[in-house]
Amino acid sequence: MKKTIFVVALSIAGFIAVWRFEPAAMGTTTTTTTTPPSASAPSTSTGSSSTSVTVPGSAQSSEFGTVQVQVTFSGSQITDVQLLQQPDSGRGIDALPQLRQEALQAQSAHIDTVSGATQTSESYIRSLQAALDAKGS
């Protein structure tokens, strides 16, 4: 955690330096190397090499809005479930760098399941089941 804050502080310091010196100051470009690697490469996600298939579930409407999931299979295994459509969350996006940094790192990781999901609605599960059925595992 300390390290994260330090790196983020460095990035901000680097940014300020770039911003202050404007284009002319050549030397300041080296400060961009303090940007954490995770922020620059968030897209190395699951992308399994062999037989990755993506199947959308049916769109299910609920009292809160429409829910639709998309399931990615590698062979017969679920490697990802994405929400294609979801009700508005209505929460702010003013996350401080600490959380944002962690999140960026996490996005690039393969996961088997998710803790803390509260997709309790019937529509979520129906859409998920539809995707499973369509795949016919």
Residue with tokens 């300041």: 28
Query: For residue 31, which phi and psi values (nearest 5 degrees)?
Result: -65, -25
Rule CB under 8 A: is residue 129 a binding residue for another protein? Answer: yes
Name the minimum Å distance from CB 61 to another protein: 16
> Nearer to another protein by C-beta: 24 or 114?
114
Question: N- to C-terminal Cα distance for the chain?
Answer: 41
Could you give the string, one character per residue 45-84, with x where binding to another protein holds by CB under 8 A and - elsewhere?
Answer: -------------------x-----------xxx---xx-
Token output for 108? 């690039």
**In whole angstroms, how far apart are CA 99 and each of 8, 13, 112, 118, 136?**
11, 19, 22, 20, 38
Name the minimum Å distance from CB 54 to another protein: 15
Name the minimum Å distance from CB 90 to another protein: 6
Candidate residues 13, 41, 53, 106; the one interacting with another protein per rule CB under 8 A: 106
Rule CB under 8 A: is residue 91 a binding residue for another protein? Answer: yes
- C-alpha angle 39-40-46 in degrees, rounded to nearest 5: 85
Name the minimum Å distance from CB 22 to another protein: 31
